[in-house]
Amino acid sequence: MNENDQMVEHKNNSNQNLSNKSVIKQEVNLQFHWYLFGFFVIYYSSYIFPGVLFFLYLLFIYIPFYLETNNIISLFMEIKPLIGAISLPFVILTCYFLYLFMLALTTRFLWNITERRSPSKDGIIPRNIRSKTLDYYHIRSFLSRYSKNTFQKGAFPWLLNWFYNFVGSNKIGTGTTIEEQFGADKYITVGDNSYIGVNSGFSSHSVEGIFGNISYFKIRLGDNVTTAGLNCVAPGVTINDNSYLFPLASATKHSNLKGNNYYYGVPLRKIFKRKIIKYLDISQEELTKVLEFRKNQEKNKE
């Protein structure tokens, strides 16, 4: 080995040592005990009050008034058996709504504790360094999943908007419809009269690589925004008023859509008249007829 090769090898070794010293690596705090604690608190506190109410109803009203009635005719003629039979579906609904309310109330209580200790804010969260921001980010992600899925997959999925606003994880405007979706459990703002289509994924966080940093930025949607379905929106995206996303249209990180337009593709971009005709497979004559029909409707309204 000559002198030049030795100098090159020595330089490479020194650069490698510097790079190893500059990268700080720590074990991530898995904090499974806090996940289990949060789950059991939410689970049992949401069931205990409606459960007690339902069993009291069974023991003191339904069983003695209805099930212990010996005469079949009296089930339809006397007041107490009628009350026991008719009140059952109302009591079940009452207990179910009480269960959902306690679920949201407990989640809100725990959520506010995490927000007071480490508020949600835009930024990059390193995953190779222990920090309060990283710990509470994971705790909030765990807390919102169970409650969100309970509302979304329950008998009254339209209560999901109320749950988001009540807990404070998201802010949803009035008249907005949210179909079944994945993700979208925190740090998202949606305006009024918007429609979030089926299987749309709004992720306010993204992991840069397998063990990379976490990009955590709020997603903002304006009024009258429509996502047709299977749309993905990355962290930091802003979609202004009167925007329409065609199916499968996806926005990359920190995209800012001005609104008042239609968007398609991955990454999404504006769609113009010629592209609309090709996308919808319609002729120019049919498009002209539609425009004339709209003009006539506007004239009739005036």
- pLDDT given for residue 74 in this prediction: 75
Q: Is the pLDDT of residue 47 over 50?
A: yes
Confidence band of 294 (pLDDT split at 50, 70, 90):
confident
Please report whether residue 248 resides in a domain.
no
Please report whether residue 286 resides in a domain.
no
- pLDDT given for residue 192 in this prediction: 96
Please report whether residue 70 resides in a domain.
yes
SS3 256: strand
- pLDDT given for residue 50 in this prediction: 95
Please report whether residue 43 resides in a domain.
yes
- pLDDT given for residue 211 in this prediction: 67
Neighbouring C-beta atoms of residue 35, cutoff 10 Å: 15
- pLDDT given for residue 191 in this prediction: 95
Domain with 58 in it = 29-117
Please report whether residue 56 resides in a domain.
yes
Say how many domains are in the chain: 1
SS3 77: helix
Q: What is the pTM of this model?
A: 0.81
Please report whether residue 226 resides in a domain.
no
Can you tell me the distance from the alpha carbon of 297 to that of 151, in angstroms, rounded to the nearest whole number? 40
What would the two tokens of residue 136 be?
């509470």
- pLDDT given for residue 7 in this prediction: 46
Average pLDDT for the chain: 86
The two beta strands, 256-257 and 238-239, are parallel
Can you tell me the distance from the alpha carbon of 264 to that of 262, in angstroms, rounded to the nearest whole number? 7
Please report whether residue 279 resides in a domain.
no
- Could you list the beta-strand ranges (E) of the chain: 123-125, 170-172, 177-178, 182-183, 188-190, 195-198, 201-202, 205-207, 214-216, 219-221, 226-229, 232-233, 238-239, 243-245, 250-251, 256-257, 261-264, 269-270
- pLDDT given for residue 70 in this prediction: 80
The two beta strands, 214-216 and 269-270, are unpaired
- pLDDT given for residue 271 in this prediction: 85
Q: What is the DSSP letter of 246?
A: P
- pLDDT given for residue 127 in this prediction: 83
Q: Is the pLDDT of residue 164 over 90?
A: yes
SS3 293: helix
Can you tell me the distance from the alpha carbon of 216 to that of 253, in angstroms, rounded to the nearest whole number? 10
Please report whether residue 227 resides in a domain.
no
Confidence band of 176 (pLDDT split at 50, 70, 90):
very high
Can you tell me the distance from the alpha carbon of 244 to that of 78, in angstroms, rounded to the nearest whole number? 59
| Range in 3-7, 77-81, 158-162 with the lowest mean pLDDT | 3-7
Q: Is the pLDDT of residue 255 over 60?
A: yes
- Percentage of residues in the chain having pLDDT higher than 70: 90
Q: Is the pLDDT of residue 16 over 70?
A: no
Encode pLDDT of 178-234 as tens digits: 998 887 889 999 999 999 999 999 999 998 876 678 999 999 999 999 999 899 999
In the chain, DSSP finds a helix count (H) and a strand count (E) of 8, 18
Q: Is the pLDDT of residue 99 over 80?
A: yes
Q: Which residue has tokens 């169970």?
A: 146
Across residues 30-38, what is the average pLDDT?
87
